[in-house]
């Protein structure tokens, strides 16, 4: 059975409420691969907790190439795939997942999370191309020759509508109808200003949800306070904050379950959109405003409008479940080991 080394991003212990995106996906991938019967070693920062059936090692060890010699393949999630390059020194093949951003350089066997992202990296464009802040990501990067698309995955058993009937669990305002949920990072590229402007113009009930300013990155905390100032005096807009502890994901799921509608206000070329997929898996109907339908992977992820509005959970299970992601990565690993790499 294949022996797989997963190298997490070198930042925070896993699971990490402060950076929930890639860290949770890595944990879900490790768990899924183990459930499929593969031998998985997770290299992660001290303090991390590995899923059942997964061997955990300190990520500092992965800087010594000899630690990969007992593995068939290394899956590197680090920026620039520096660890994967070292693995190559010991003739251990590697796959690299590029999470987006800037400063990347072409590497063989690179995976990205959407076709929209593939189109950009093949042109050397950043996630901020054709956005209000085109210089935020720095200059264009060197184009890739080829990359493979594998969608990120979520645990659709955890992110689910729950057992209550829909009419009992979704918040309803007698004057304004079903309440909308905006849940994201406090950052201009996530469109919090547009969300507040939309709620102010339409009068729809809106919950703004994100990390508590006391625990967030200083700049994002400043944006959270800015959002509250912009919404001051608007009784149709309220703010709720997610805990910065192991209950973070449960609290986030509860928000999806309490709201019928999920408001999308993406204002950059988003590589994927995990919160969108989580909301879909919980049965939320999606509302896209502004330039969001044309931003990055948004249209690709949500599908056509009928499917987006009526069958969000079915689409999430079919395309974005953690086991679907794991099987797609296994196919990529097998191709590399068989000499059918790319890029």
Q: What is the average per-residue pLDDT within 264-289?
A: 93
Highest mean pLDDT among 26-40, 152-166, 207-221, 294-308: 26-40
| 166: pLDDT strictly greater than 90 | no
Q: Say if 67 falls within a structural domain.
A: yes
Helix locations, the chain, DSSP H: 20-35, 82-89, 115-123, 166-169, 192-202, 218-230, 248-258, 274-281, 298-302, 305-310, 312-320, 322-337
Task: Tell me, yes or no, whether 241 and 316 share the same domain.
Answer: yes
Instruction: Give the pLDDT of residue 257.
Output: 94
Task: Tell me, yes or no, whether 207 and 299 share the same domain.
Answer: yes
The gap between the terminal CA atoms of the chain, to the nearest Å, is 26
Tokens representing 155 are 């645990």
Give CA–CA dist 153/320, Å, rounded: 5
Q: Say if 159 falls within a structural domain.
A: no
Q: What is the average per-residue pLDDT within 184-203?
A: 95
Task: Tell me, yes or no, whether 132 and 171 share the same domain.
Answer: no
20 within 8 A of 184, measured Cβ to Cβ? no
pTM above 0.95, yes or no: no
Tokens representing 25 are 């996906």
Q: What is the average per-residue pLDDT within 115-125?
A: 92
Task: Tell me, yes or no, whether 35 and 173 share the same domain.
Answer: no
Q: Say if 7 falls within a structural domain.
A: yes
Q: Say if 21 falls within a structural domain.
A: yes
Q: Which domain holds residue 207?
A: 166-320
Percent of the chain with pLDDT over 70: 88
What's the number of domains the chain is made of?
A: 2
Task: Tell me, yes or no, whether 194 and 133 share the same domain.
Answer: no
| 107: pLDDT strictly greater than 80 | yes
Per-residue pLDDT band for 131 (boundaries 50, 70, 90) equals confident
Task: Tell me, yes or no, whether 126 and 206 share the same domain.
Answer: no
> What phi and psi values does residue 118 have, to the nearest 5 degrees?
-60, -45
Task: Tell me, yes or no, whether 25 and 43 share the same domain.
Answer: yes
Instruction: Give the pLDDT of residue 105.
Output: 78
Classify residue 243 by its DSSP letter.
-
**Whose structure tokens read 């590029």?**
98
Give CA–CA dist 79/52, Å, rounded: 27
Task: Tell me, yes or no, whether 132 and 212 share the same domain.
Answer: no
Question: How many residues are given for the chain?
Answer: 343
Q: Say if 342 falls within a structural domain.
A: no
Q: Say if 239 falls within a structural domain.
A: yes
Task: Tell me, yes or no, whether 283 and 176 share the same domain.
Answer: yes
pLDDT, tens digit (0-9, with 9 covering 90-100), for 194-230: 999 999 999 999 999 999 998 767 888 999 999 999 9
Q: Say if 95 falls within a structural domain.
A: yes
Task: Tell me, yes or no, whether 128 and 175 share the same domain.
Answer: no
Per-residue pLDDT band for 16 (boundaries 50, 70, 90) equals confident
Instruction: Give the pLDDT of residue 214.
Output: 86
Task: Tell me, yes or no, whether 242 and 333 share the same domain.
Answer: no
pLDDT, tens digit (0-9, with 9 covering 90-100), for 38-79: 999 999 988 899 999 999 998 776 666 677 888 999 999 987
Of 168, 164, 199, nearest to 182 by C-alpha is 199
Distances (CA, A) of 166 to 133, 226, 257, 275, 281: 40, 34, 9, 20, 14
Highest mean pLDDT among 6-10, 19-23, 72-76: 72-76
Q: Say if 343 falls within a structural domain.
A: no
Domain of 28: which CATH number? Answer: 3.40.50.2000
Task: Tell me, yes or no, whether 50 and 130 share the same domain.
Answer: yes
Give CA–CA dist 255/240, Å, rounded: 9
Tokens representing 227 are 């959002």
Give the strand pairing for 110-112 and 94-97.
parallel
Highest mean pLDDT among 5-14, 132-141, 166-175, 196-205: 196-205
């Amino acid at each position: 059975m294949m022996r797989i080394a997963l190298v997490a991003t070198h930042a925070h212990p896993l699971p990490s409420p402060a950076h929930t995106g890639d860290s949770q996906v890595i944990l879900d991938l490790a768990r899924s691969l183990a459930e499929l019967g593969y031998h998985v070693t997770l290299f992660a920062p001290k303090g991390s907790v590995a899923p059942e059936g997964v061997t955990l090692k300190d990520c500092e060890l992965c800087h010594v190439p000899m630690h990969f010699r007992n593995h068939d393949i290394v899956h590197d999630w680090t920026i620039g795939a520096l660890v994967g390059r070292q693995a190559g020194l010991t003739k251990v093949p590697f796959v690299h997942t590029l999470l987006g951003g800037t400063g990347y350089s072409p590497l063989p066997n690179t995976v990205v999370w959407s076709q929209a992202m593939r189109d950009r990296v093949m042109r050397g464009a950043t996630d901020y191309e054709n956005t209000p802040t085109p210089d935020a990501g720095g200059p264009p990067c060197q184009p890739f020759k080829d990359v493979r698309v594998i969608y990120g995955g979520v645990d659709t058993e955890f992110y689910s509508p729950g057992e209550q009937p829909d009419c009992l669990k979704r918040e309803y305002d007698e004057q304004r109808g079903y309440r909308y949920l905006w849940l994201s990072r406090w950052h201009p590229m996530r469109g919090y200003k547009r969300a507040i402007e939309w709620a102010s113009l339409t009068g729809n009930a809106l919950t703004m949800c994100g990390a508590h300013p006391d625990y967030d990155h200083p700049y994002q905390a400043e944006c959270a306070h800015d959002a509250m100032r912009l919404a001051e005096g608007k009784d149709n807009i309220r703010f709720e904050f997610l805990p910065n502890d192991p209950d973070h994901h449960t609290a986030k799921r509860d928000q999806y379950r309490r709201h019928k509608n999920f408001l999308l206000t993406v204002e950059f070329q988003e590589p994927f959109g995990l919160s969108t997929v989580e909301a879909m898996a919980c049965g939320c109907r999606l509302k896209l405003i502004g330039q969001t339908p044309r931003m990055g992977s948004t249209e690709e992820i949500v599908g056509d409008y009928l499917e987006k509005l009526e069958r969000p959970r079915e689409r999430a299970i079919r395309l974005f479940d953690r086991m679907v992601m794991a099987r797609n990565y296994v196919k990529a690993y097998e191709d590399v080991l068989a000499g059918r790499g790319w890029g």
